[in-house]
Amino acid sequence: MAGAFITFEGIDGSGKSTQLRMLASTLRLAGYEVVTTREPGGTPLGKQLRLALLDAQAEVDPLAELLLYAADRAQHVRTLLTPALETSHIVLSDRYADATVAYQGAGRGFTPELIASVVELATGGLKPDLTLFFEVSVAEGLMRTRKREDSERGKDRLDAEDIEFYARVRVLDASGSIEETHASVVSIVMPFLEERGLKRHALARESSPTAPQPPPSSAH
Ligand SMILES: Nc1ncnc2c1ncn2[C@@H]1O[C@H](COP(=O)(O)OP(=O)(O)OP(=O)(O)O)[C@@H](O)[C@H]1O
Ligand SMILES: [Mg+2]
């Protein structure tokens, strides 16, 4: 497809949302057309599914949960991601299918084959061109969010057998400051986009002298 699909993965508090917003503004300054989105909840239907999925009161059966994520993803791929990529946008998604492999696969005990077929069905085979995996210790992630204790976090490890995953995934050390991590992100993404020859607006600044300020913290 004509655009570029970049996904952000990592445990809660690893800095995905912060870095996504900063990268979007850096890329826009550089003249790229950027669409930002997330999973779950990137579409109107997805927002409702997200509310249902994140409702702490509800007891969600693991299979129902897997299929709700798949429904969110199918709607996202068909109504937002594919049209944006076909029209040459750079799409930045806060989580995508790798999160399902980690949480519903390793976390909930479904077989890799079942996860792979549900992901394939939902995505129609749409894969990221680049995945940024933000690595921080679980303790650091928890300290940052201070939202919840969750013994599942230690299981958020990706399947070492997925060779394709390692070919497109860049693992970043996200334990430093917001600005340091942003610099790492930019050093990976800019050469990647230039290599792909994506269009930029003619009026764009060639380089931005100052890095964008980190946005006010509002984790989601
Ligand atoms: N490098 C950093 N150093 C210190 N604090 C950070 C860093 N990056 C992000 N934060 C802060 O940590 C909190 C969590 O960051 P952020 O919301 O970006 O994480 P996330 O990966 O999107 O988490 P979640 O999976 O829960 O959505 C925010 O308050 C953010 O401002
Ligand atoms: Mg977030």
18 lines ligand 1 (CB under 6 A): yes
Q: Could you tell me the two tokens for 188?
A: 């990976």
Q: Is residue 205 part of a domain?
A: no
Task: State how far the Cα of 116 lies from the Cα of 162, in Å rounded to an integer.
Answer: 11
Asked if residue 154 has pLDDT above 50, the reply is: no
**Ligand 1 centroid, distance to 14 Cα (angstroms):** 6
Which pLDDT score, from 0 to 100, does residue 159 have? 38
Which residue's CA is the closest to the ligand 1 atom numbered 29? 217
Nearest CA-CA partner of 182 in 13, 4, 27, 36: 27
10 lines ligand 1 (CB under 6 A): yes
Could you tell me where the DSSP H helices lie in the chain? 16-29, 44-54, 62-76, 82-86, 97-100, 112-123, 138-145, 163-168, 178-196
Please identify every residue whose CB atom is under 5 Å from ligand 2, which is an ion. Answer: 17, 220
Q: Is the pTM of this model over 0.75?
A: yes
Q: Is residue 185 part of a domain?
A: yes
Q: Could you tell me the two tokens for 195?
A: 């290599």
* Atom of ligand 1 at shortest range from CA of 8: 21
Residue showing tokens 């976390």:
107
User: Which among 9, 11, 17 is the best mutation to test ligand 1's pocket, defined by most ligand atoms within 8 Å of the CB?
Assistant: 17
Confidence of residue 93 (pLDDT cuts 50, 70, 90): very high
pLDDT digit string, tens, across residues 135-150? 998 888 888 887 434 4
The stretch 169-186 carries a mean pLDDT of 95
145 lines ligand 1 (CB under 6 A): yes
Task: State how far the Cα of 143 lies from the Cα of 111, in Å rounded to an integer.
Answer: 32
Task: State how far the Cα of 103 lies from the Cα of 47, in Å rounded to an integer.
Answer: 19
CATH number at 10 reads 3.40.50.300
Q: 191 phi and psi, to 5 degrees?
A: -60, -35
Q: Is residue 35 part of a domain?
A: yes
Asked if residue 156 has pLDDT above 50, the reply is: no
CA 161 to chain CA centroid, Å, is: 21
Q: Is residue 204 part of a domain?
A: no
Q: Is residue 201 part of a domain?
A: no
Task: State how far the Cα of 14 lies from the Cα of 174, in Å rounded to an integer.
Answer: 7
Q: Which amino acid is at 156?
A: D
The stretch 53-64 carries a mean pLDDT of 84
- How many CA atoms are closer than 13 Å to the CA of 47, on its beta-carbon side? 3
Tally of structural domains, the chain: 1
Which residue's CA is the closest to the ligand 1 atom numbered 5? 144
Q: Is residue 217 part of a domain?
A: no
Q: What is the DSSP letter of 150?
A: -
Q: Is residue 142 part of a domain?
A: yes
Residues 170/163, Cβ–Cβ less than 8 Å = no
171 lines ligand 1 (CB under 6 A): no
pLDDT digit string, tens, across residues 19-47? 999 999 999 999 999 999 999 999 999 99
Residues 134/10, Cβ–Cβ less than 8 Å = yes
**Structural domain containing residue 75:** 4-196
**Ligand 2 centroid, distance to 218 Cα (angstroms):** 8
Q: What is the DSSP letter of 102?
A: I
**Ligand 2 centroid, distance to 220 Cα (angstroms):** 4
